[in-house]
Amino acid sequence: MKLRPGLRVLERGPGTVQFGADQRWATVLTGLTSAETDVLRRLAGPDPVVGAELLRRCRPSAGAPVDPERLSELLAALTRSGLLTAVPPGPLPVGSGAADDVRSAACTATDGDGARVVAARARAVVAVVGLGRVGMVLADTLASAGVGTLALDDARQVRAGDVGIGGLRDRHVGRARAEGAAEVLSGRYPALRVGGDGQAPDVVVVVFDEVADSVRTVRLMVEGVAHLVVTVREGDVVVGPFVLPGQTPCTTCLDCRRTELDPLWPRVRDQLRDAAVQLPPAQESSTAAASGALAAAQVLAHLDGRRPVTAGACIEVSAPDAVPRLREWSMHPDCGCVDVSPPQR
């Protein structure tokens, strides 16, 4: 057993040591002798000593000042808190900044193996449809986090307003967004595979302007593909819902709920859709950065085997302060999506 990588070991006072700084898992051991404190600190550091090695060193024959039974009790307390893991860390990813993602995942993964989490991401395929500022931040964040393959889809031309956040530059203006995005991401992440080569995606992200269009996601529903809907609106960006077909509300469910709240919503929706074709909504810098990163977090949650927060909810990120607000939604009985087969992973 060894301490999860990246956890802080902090002295709170005489005989009191805190393992971990995050309130979700921080554990405090009290009544420690100075020798016990010194031994426990060996669990952390650049060359940590594993639990079995600590026990060996604490045998009376070795002249250790710590009673092995007492140390076993202390290690058991850390084990119950989930801070010790028996899984040896896998190799760190090469050629990207995902090493920090490994350290972070080691704190939250069930088995403490952050390398396993990031290695699974490297085998994943994520399709991103819509590559304005929000889509570019999303794609860049996924690549940085170790996702191995991105299938990029957006034939629209890069506008001057797309330049900046996310990586598109003036030289890309007038070129297809997907082409510019592939150039940017391939240059930043040499190990990234762009295109997918016909592989079935694990997740599809569709970025809409003004209103989500369920017609464009119906095939994903039928095929049981997990997908995240992101909608850039007049004054905010809506991240969600993350749709697990047959399990969580889809875009049609939300459409039905909105119509219940506002019977004229279908008429307004159609006008918004037409207006977006003529003049797409602005993707303000801070809002695009925040919403793109939040969208990436939802995708990573699914790839890592966790349930995304937006599975049954939306995160609304409003300009200009970009403070997120969570709004929950439920499946609508008139939609019929409950009969769709759930996604296979």
Q: How far apart are CA 1 and CA 5, in angstroms?
A: 12
And the tokens for 70?
Answer: 């007492």
Which runs of E-coded beta strand occur in the chain? Answer: 2-3, 9-13, 16-19, 27-29, 84-85, 125-129, 149-153, 193-194, 203-209, 227-232, 236-243, 313-318, 324-328
Backbone dihedral angles phi then psi of residue 228, each to the nearest 5 degrees: -110, 130
Structure confidence at residue 43 as a pLDDT band (50, 70, 90): confident
Domain boundaries, the chain: 2-85, 123-339
DSSP 225-236: --EEEEEE-SSE
Cross-strand partners of 16: 13
CATH architecture of 123-339: 3-Layer(aba) Sandwich (3.40)
CA-CA distance, 284 to 124, in Å (whole number)? 30
**Which residues, 6+ apart, have CB-to-CB distance to 55 below 8 Å?**
68, 71, 72, 75
- At 90, is the pLDDT very low, low, confident or very high (cuts 50, 70, 90)? low
Provide the pLDDT for residue 64. 56
Q: In residues, how long is the chain?
A: 345
pLDDT of residue 76 exceeding 60, the answer is yes
The model carries a pTM of: 0.88
* Predicted confidence (pLDDT) at residue 247 exceeds the cutoff of 50: yes
**CA atoms of 214 and 6, how far apart (whole Å):** 43
> Would you state the pLDDT for residue 66?
81
Q: Can you give the pLDDT at residue 61?
A: 42
For residues 310 and 228, the answer to whether their CB atoms sit within 8 Å is yes
Q: Where are the alpha helices (DSSP H) in 86-132?
A: 99-108, 114-122
Question: Which among 185, 203, 170, 180 has a CA at the least distance from the CA of 132?
Answer: 180
Q: What dihedral do alpha carbons 266, 272, 273, 276 form, nearest 10°?
A: -170
Under 8 Å between Cβ of 238 and 230: yes
- Residue 51: pLDDT band with limits 50, 70, 90: low
Label each residue of 317-340 as H, E or C: EECCCCCEEEEECCCCCCCCHHHC
> Which pLDDT band holds residue 69 (cuts at 50, 70, 90)?
confident
What whole-number distance in Å separates Cα of residue 250 and Cα of residue 222?
A: 12
Query: pLDDT tens-digit profile of 286-302?
Result: 999 999 999 999 999 99
Contact between residue 112 and residue 20 where contact means Cβ atoms under 8 Å apart: no
Give 165-222 pLDDT, tens digit per residue.
Answer: 999 999 999 999 999 999 999 999 999 999 877 789 999 999 999 999 988 899 999 9
Q: Is the pLDDT of residue 78 over 60?
A: yes
Please determine, for residue 94, whether its predicted confidence score (pLDDT) is greater than 60.
Answer: no
pLDDT classification of 7: cutoffs 50, 70, 90: confident
What value does the mean pLDDT of the chain take? 88
> At residue 16, does pLDDT exceed 50?
yes
Q: Which fold has domain 2-85?
A: Outer Surface Protein A; domain 3 (3.90.930)
For residue 322, the tally of other CB atoms under 10 A from its CB is 18
CB 207 within 8 A of CB 259: no
